[in-house]
Amino acid sequence: MENPFIDLLKERRSIYALGKNVPLSNEQITELVQKAIKESPTSFNSQTSRAVVLFGDSHDTLWDLTEAALKVVIPEGQDFAPTVGKLNSFRAGYATILFFEDMSIVKNLQEQFALYADNFPVWSEQASGIAQHSVWTALATENVGASLQHYNPLIDNVVHSEWNLSSDWKLRAQMPFGSIEAPAQDKEYMDDDERVLSFN
């Protein structure tokens, strides 16, 4: 069975060989991210997801800050070169999107609906994942490659300080993106029947 939406999902892959030759302007990219997040569902229509798009020097600064933070925690004597190589692959991209969840909304919902208080942080994480996937897929439709990284909470404080962000925004992921300089590696899939069951 052919389905155009499934075809779009297939286009979204982890691309690590990134370049700076993207077909969109900064304004078009920002609008694409805004619309993808706007149309991503959230529990209770809470709209907790936030994003910051870092272009140019801000993009480079993020990965410089990340490298500095990693140097502090990586054991002395351990080869740091592979880590730098990985960070350089992100630097080679065009820009980076930071994904956050606004925890002030989560806390307010916990107070309003005490019966579901334990669920709201979980639903927030689900909303963040949906937003990330929506943006990632939207970029792929424009032939822009991306990957999803998680250097939080290691870089949380420096990110909030550098861009003067609300302390209520909890950093959840980083998405470096750019032109696709090499295709994604082959991907192995489990048998569909092991992951999805159906009953009559």
Q: Per the domain annotation, does 97 fall within a domain?
A: yes
Check residue 200 and give its pLDDT. 96
Domain of 169? 4-181
| pLDDT score of 153 more than 90 | yes
CATH (domain of 137): 3.40.109.10
Has residue 194 been placed in a domain?
no
Q: Is residue 199 one of the residues assigned to a domain?
A: no
Q: Is residue 198 part of a domain?
A: no
pLDDT, mean over the chain? 97
The band of 75, judged by pLDDT with boundaries at 50, 70 and 90, is: confident
| Band of pLDDT at residue 1, cut at 50, 70 and 90 | confident
Give the pLDDT confidence of 17-60 residue by residue, as tens digits: 999 999 999 999 999 999 999 999 999 999 999 999 999 999 99
Residue 102 lies in a domain: yes
pLDDT of residue 77: 80
Quote the percentage of the chain above a pLDDT of 90. 96
pTM, two decimals, is 0.96
Helices and strands, counts by H and E, the chain:
8, 5
Instruction: Report if residue 19 sits inside a domain.
Output: yes
DSSP letter for each residue of 64-98: HHHHHHHHHHSPTTS--HHHHHHHHHHHTSSEEEE
Residue 153 domain-assigned?
yes
Residue 186 lies in a domain: no
- Count up the domains in the chain and report the number: 1
Which uninterrupted H or E stretch holds 29?
A: helix 26-38
| Nearest of 109, 136, 137, 133 to residue 122 by alpha carbon | 109
Q: Which of helix, strand or coil describes residue 172?
A: strand
